[in-house]
Amino acid sequence: MDNINQLIISIQQLHFQLQISAVNAVNQMLTIRNWLIGFYIVEYEQNGKDRADYGVGLLKTLSLNLKDIKGMEERSLRRYRQFYLFYPQLSDIIRGSLSPISEIIGILKAEEIKERRESTNDKSELIVPGEKILSKLSYSHIELLLSVSESIKRTFYEIECIKASWSVRELKRQILSKLFERSGLSEAPKKLIDVVRRNIKPQRPSDIIKNIYAFEFLDLPIKEIVEESDIEKALLDSLQQFILEMGYGFCFEARQKRILIGEKYYFIDLVFYHRVLKCHVLIEFKIGEFEHGDIAQLNTYLNYFKTEIREIEDNTPVGILLVAEKDQALVKYATAGMDENLFVNEYMLKLPDAKILKQYIENEIKRM
């Protein structure tokens, strides 16, 4: 290569192509793993000698015993089982992809695949080939598709997602905007689909790999995938250190703490444990104007901690909501329905004063 521009372009193309290959490899292994877990669960339910001992508590039992592996919550295991039942066409492609496991997968005969399809009440003859599902959709896409109960509708979104290379966010947006239903009502559905495709930016490799399931699979810190604006990240970094330097008995526990409520994951900005008050302190930070839903969301987190995280000897968790807009700051304390006056009075003495936090946020914003 005697042209520097040609050399630059060649390196860029090489990087992009191999990056895509690496991302797809991780995605496919994650998808295969989750499908196989679903397979194991279903096979056990049908053939396990001691399955009666577990009954409906099977997934909970599995979750408790697999807690050292990320992504094995009861809800996730239920999804893996559903994934296996909804996508029997992956059997052949998975059998061919993993030779060490091919003997295990080999017990899935063609007639069993047909039974699987019928067991999901899927009467549709339109089935996207397993190779396309595995190579073109991330497991995050599949998670969203599993929420679509009608097989024909799910197939529609599979096809459009593959053809237009939708990101997970775009797939979610199209499902919520009822693109399938709108296409059925449109006099020119193809024209509607063409318009949608033109207005969508194809996903990038980072869109595929930077998702909660891939990070769990690779055992990477979840906080890396939580998108924050530069100013919000800088403020949280500074605030975390500021709280610890103030003393008061704060012990840092987590940043962007992930919790599962129902079928959705949420992230709490900062979580501390206060060794004097013997309670968790949750801090939520928001750039922008205070909205009514902000305090409701914080109280939801507090109630979750109160029910799911708090130990017997712990006091009720406390929440602090920090809202910053330009050079104005708002600090709200949430107590999640505390009715112990002594504790309320005590925490007001032990936690940072609202005026101090307000002044700190205002100063930091001005400095930035």
Q: What is the pLDDT of residues 44-66, one digit of tens each?
A: 887 765 555 555 588 888 888 88
Helix axes 151-164, 189-198, angle to 10 degrees: 40
In angstroms, rounded to a whole number, what is the distance separating the alpha carbons of residues 65 and 363? 48
Quick one: the chain helix, strand, coil %, rounded to 5?
A: 60, 15, 25
Annotated domain spans of the chain: 4-214, 226-367
What does each C-alpha distance from 299 to 121, 303, 335 come to in angstroms? Answer: 40, 6, 8
Residues 283, 239 contacting (CB under 8 angstroms)? yes
Residue 356, amino acid: I
pLDDT of residue 121: 46
More confident residue, 150 or 234: 150
**Predicted pLDDT at 256:** 82
160 class by beta-carbon count within 10 Å (0-12 exposed, 13-18 middle, 19+ buried)? buried
- Name the more confident of 338 and 287: 287
What CA–CA distance (Å, rounded) separates 231 from 113? 52
Tokens 């042209």 sit at which residue? 3
Distance in angstroms (rounded) separating the CA atoms of residues 324 and 322: 7
Residue 102 confidence (pLDDT):
47
Q: Identify the H or E element spanning 153.
A: helix 151-164
CATH number listed for the domain at residues 226-367: 3.90.1570
* Phi–psi pair at 153, nearest 5 degrees: -70, -45
- What average pLDDT is seen over the chain? 75
pLDDT in tens, 315-366: 888 888 888 765 567 777 776 555 454 455 556 656 777 777 777 777 776 6
> Which has the minimum average pLDDT: 51-55, 105-109, 197-201, 267-271?
105-109
Most confident by average pLDDT, 25-34, 40-49, 92-101: 25-34
Burial class (CB in 10 A: 0-12, 13-18, 19+), 168: buried
